[in-house]
Structures are given as structure tokens and as C-alpha cells.
């Protein structure tokens, strides 16, 4: 019987993988394929590429060295590989993103008489399935989350490496890992499950009370694994059961943003609220550079930006603080910051990143009111009360014996580049110009 191809993308695992079951229905032999797509790798930073490489290496080991990695346009590569092995079907997890949907249509067309089978997705509920009674999409999170929970999700699929017989690759082994100095989490499916079980057993009970504290090891750090599909969210939800936990709410936010982007793909680049198209922005490259490097003179902001460069990750509360500072203290466009995050975050997810930035900027779905301008000093005192997070990521302040949230004359550390109180007024004045 001719083999199938399982084309791995954002599903770099073997457990709870419905596409493997669909491939097994066509026959037992399958080729495991990953395509390095320049359209996706070109804008990615070293940290994301290095973590991806590690996840591919881990998957290859699980497959006994039988993962084929090929470079190029998937619309060319996938049909070529299918012809070379005589495959009659190509199996994928459905991609809900704007580029992924367009790419998959092109691949499906190029495959001609080879069946292209979409099974499941990287989400508990595939984007586009949940709508309001009138058939329109949700724009507000709370009613979406209720409908999402009521809709529910399937139990995890029972799959493993033995679900299929993996044939030898026709060519193309793993490339050399990219150079990367960032401290990254252990990649791959086994590491993902170990991280989840440690969080579930040790930190989940206190998650709601401690999750906003970047100085504590209180979050799950599962976002890189979810982004690359080393674990399916349905697996985590099965462990949580039907409990309405704060962690389940965070998973629902991820699903909400993916669903909204499915309905409104243009919002990956454009304001959800078109009124914000008229908002006046500054375009000062020096201020943007100071923000990127973590040299604004506001310690909680700088700690977050330096953590991003050092780890390819940033605590979620600090993501909001740094985004507010860029858009409302520096008056720079939200998409400048979103692009920087997409380049450096290991967990960079288009839907969550772009709409998270718009939430803070006030232009997005379920947007925070524009006049909610985070005071970076107040936020630092509240969520990093002893300054442990700041000292961890800013060496110049590590031994500062004064107020770490408002350091004065700390050797090597810059003074504030703006006055927050003044810039808050500027931001609100500019918002007044578009709010009528």
C-alpha cells in the first residue's frame, strides 16, 4: 500500500496527534516531513530558530532518526516529496493563521491528485467553530470564553510513535543548529510534559494568586511548547478537568485571539478599531532603540526587555508594562513593538502577540481603555516589591542599595528618558483628538 506523508508544522509531538490517526486510516506506512519555510524563518530571531531546531531534533529522536527536513517553498517541496515516495495523501493539523491558510491552499492545489487531509488544529477548539447565535464572531473575551467552555473539546487522541510505521527519509537530515546565546528551555515533547507535570503538581494551586509576580517562579512557562505544538492544549485541559481555573482562562485567551484572527485576518497588521488609524504617533528611532535594549531608565521596563534578549521570553505582566511604555510613554506605534517581540520571543504566536499588543494600545479586541496607562514605577513596586526581578536582569542595579524602582545615580544605569507624568498627559491628549 502506498505511504502517506505526515507534514509536521506547529505540532512537533507524537502524543495526542489526531493527524496520525487520519494517516493510519490510509495505511500503516508514513513519511515524517518538516519543511523549513523561508517565509516563516526569515523574520524569526535566533532564539526561536534555535528552539525550533531543538524541537525537531527531539522529534527526530522519537522517530528513530526518520524525520525528513527539507528547505523551500512548501507548494514546491511537499508535492515533490509526495511524488518521490508515491504518497497518495498528505496529512496535517489545520493552520488557522492568515499565511498558513493561504499556503495550505497553494499546497493542496499543487498536489493535484494527492489528497490533502486536515485533521485537528493547534487549538482545543478549531478557530472559526464558535460563533454567536447570529453566526457572527465574538469580539469580547468573556462571552467567547463561556461559549468556548460550553462547546468543549475532544478527549486527547491516543497516539504515539507506534501509531504509524515511519519510512526512511528520501533525503534531507537535520541542519546544523543556529548560533544562539539566549538561555532557552529544554525543547521537545518530553520536556514539555515534564514542565507541565512540575507546574501542575507544584505551582498550579497558587497560580491565580502569584501569576502576576515576575520575581517568583509562579507561571507554567508552557507557552513555547504550546506555540510549537510539543504539547496540545487539550492535553492540559484534560488534566485540569472542568474546573474553572485561572490557568484555563489563560488558555481560553489564546483560543480567543486565534479565533478572532481567523475571522479578521487583516488585524494581524491593522487596528481592530479603525478609529485608532488617526492616532498621532512619534517615530523617534533613538527612543525605540533605548526601549529595545532595556535602557529607558525605568527598571521594570528595562528588566523585561533584557529578559527578552537573554531568554527569548518575558513574563506576561511585564509584557503589558513594556507595551504600555512603548505606546503611551514613548508614543511609538504598537506594531513596532509587536514586530520586535515576534522576532525575539521563542513563543511568538501571531494571534496572541498582535492582539495582546493591541489590547494594551487600546485599539484591539476587548481593549483595555486607552486611559489605562501603566505607571512603570508603580507597577514595579506592586509586582516586584523587593526588586528581585529587576536585580536579576539588570546587573547595574544588582548591588544598588537605594530604591531599585527609582534608582538615583546608580553607576552605569541611565536616567529616565522621559517623564512618565508628562507623557501620560500627551497620550491622553492624543487619544482625545480621536475620541470625539
348 annotated binding-site participant: yes
253 annotated binding-site participant: yes
Q: Which residue has the cell 535594549?
A: 293
Sign (positive or negative) of CA dihedral 314, 316, 317, 321: positive
For residue 327, what is the enclosing H or E element? Answer: none
DSSP for 345-412?
-TT--HHHHHHHHHHHHT-STTPPPTT----HHHHHHHHSTT-HHHHHH-GGGTT--S-TTS-SS-TT
Q: Which of 143, 137, 123, 13 is nearest to 67 (CA)?
A: 13
349 annotated binding-site participant: yes
342 annotated binding-site participant: no
255 annotated binding-site participant: yes
207 annotated binding-site participant: yes
222 annotated binding-site participant: yes
252 annotated binding-site participant: yes
63 annotated binding-site participant: no
257 annotated binding-site participant: yes
360 annotated binding-site participant: no
262 annotated binding-site participant: no
Cα 92 from Cα 250, distance rounded (Å): 26
220 annotated binding-site participant: yes
339 annotated binding-site participant: no
248 annotated binding-site participant: no
| Strand-strand pairing, 115-118 and 165-166 | unpaired
251 annotated binding-site participant: yes
29 annotated binding-site participant: no
DSSP 135: S
Residue 408 CB neighbours (<10 A): 9
Residues placed in the known binding site: 207, 219-223, 247, 250-257, 347-349
Residues placed in the known binding site for FAD: 207, 219-223, 247, 250-257, 347-349
Amino acid at each position: 500500500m502506498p505511504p502517506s506523508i505526515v507534514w509536521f508544522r506547529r505540532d512537533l509531538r507524537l502524543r495526542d496527534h489526531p493527524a496520525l490517526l487520519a494517516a493510519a486510516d490510509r495505511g500503516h506506512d508514513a513519511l515524517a516531513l518538516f519543511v523549513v519555510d523561508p517565509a516563516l524563518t526569515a523574520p524569526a530571531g535566533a532564539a526561536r530558530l534555535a528552539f525550533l531546531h531543538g524541537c525537531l531534533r527531539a522529534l527526530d529522536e522519537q522517530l528513530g532518526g526518520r524525520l525528513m527536513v527539507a528547505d523551500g517553498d512548501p507548494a514546491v517541496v511537499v508535492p515533490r516529496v509526495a511524488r518521490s515516495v508515491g504518497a497518495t495523501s498528505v496529512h496535517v493539523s489545520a493552520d488557522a493563521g492568515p499565511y498558513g491558510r493561504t499556503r495550505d491552499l497553494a499546497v493542496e492545489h499543487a498536489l493535484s491528485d494527492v489528497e490533502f487531509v486536515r485533521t485537528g488544529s493547534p487549538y482545543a477548539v478549531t478557530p472559526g467553530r464558535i460563533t454567536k447565535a447570529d453566526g457572527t464572531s465574538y469580539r469580547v473575551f468573556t462571552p467567547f470564553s463561556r461559549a468556548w467552555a460550553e462547546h468543549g473539546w475532544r478527549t486527547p487522541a491516543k497516539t504515539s510513535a507506534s501509531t504509524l510505521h515511519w519510512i526512511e527519509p528520501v533525503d534531507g537530515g537535520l541542519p546544523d543548529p543556529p548560533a544562539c546565546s539566549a538561555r532557552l528551555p529544554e525543547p521537545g515533547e518530553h520536556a514539555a510534559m515534564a514542565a507541565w507535570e512540575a507546574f501542575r503538581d507544584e505551582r498550579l494551586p497558587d497560580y491565580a494568586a502569584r501569576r502576576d509576580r515576575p520575581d517568583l517562579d509562579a507561571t507554567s512557562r508552557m507557552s513555547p511548547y504550546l506555540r510549537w505544538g510539543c504539547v496540545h492544549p487539550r492535553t492540559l485541559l484534560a488534566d485540569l478537568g472542568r474546573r474553572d481555573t485561572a490557568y484555563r482562562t489563560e488558555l481560553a485567551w489564546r483560543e480567543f485571539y486565534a479565533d478572532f484572527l481567523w475571522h479578521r485576518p487583516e488585524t494581524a497588521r491593522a487596528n481592530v478599531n479603525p478609529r485608532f488609524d488617526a492616532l498621532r504617533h512619534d517615530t523617534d528611532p533613538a527612543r525605540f532603540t533605548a526601549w529595545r535594549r532595556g535602557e529607558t531608565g525605568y527598571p521594570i521596563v528595562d528588566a523585561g526587555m533584557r529578559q527578552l534578549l537573554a531568554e527569548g521570553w518575558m513574563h506576561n505582566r511585564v509584557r503589558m508594562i513594556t507595551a504600555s511604555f512603548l505606546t503611551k510613554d514613548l508614543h511609538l506605534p504598537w506594531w513596532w513593538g509587536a514586530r520586535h517581540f515576534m522576532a525575539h520571543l521563542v513563543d511568538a504566536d501571531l494571534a496572541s502577540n498582535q492582539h495582546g499588543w493591541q489590547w494594551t494600545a487600546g485599539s484591539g479586541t476587548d481593549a483595555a481603555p486607552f486611559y489605562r496607562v501603566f505607571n512603570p514605577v508603580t507597577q514595579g513596586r506592586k509586582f516586584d516589591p523587593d526588586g528581585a526581578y529587576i536585580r536579576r536582569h539588570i546587573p547595574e542595579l544588582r548591588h544598588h542599595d537605594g530604591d531599585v524602582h527609582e534608582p538615583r545615580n546608580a553607576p552605569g544605569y541611565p536616567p529616565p528618558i522621559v517623564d512618565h507624568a508628562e507623557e501620560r498627559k500627551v497620550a491622553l491628549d492624543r487619544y482625545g483628538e480621536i475620541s470625539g
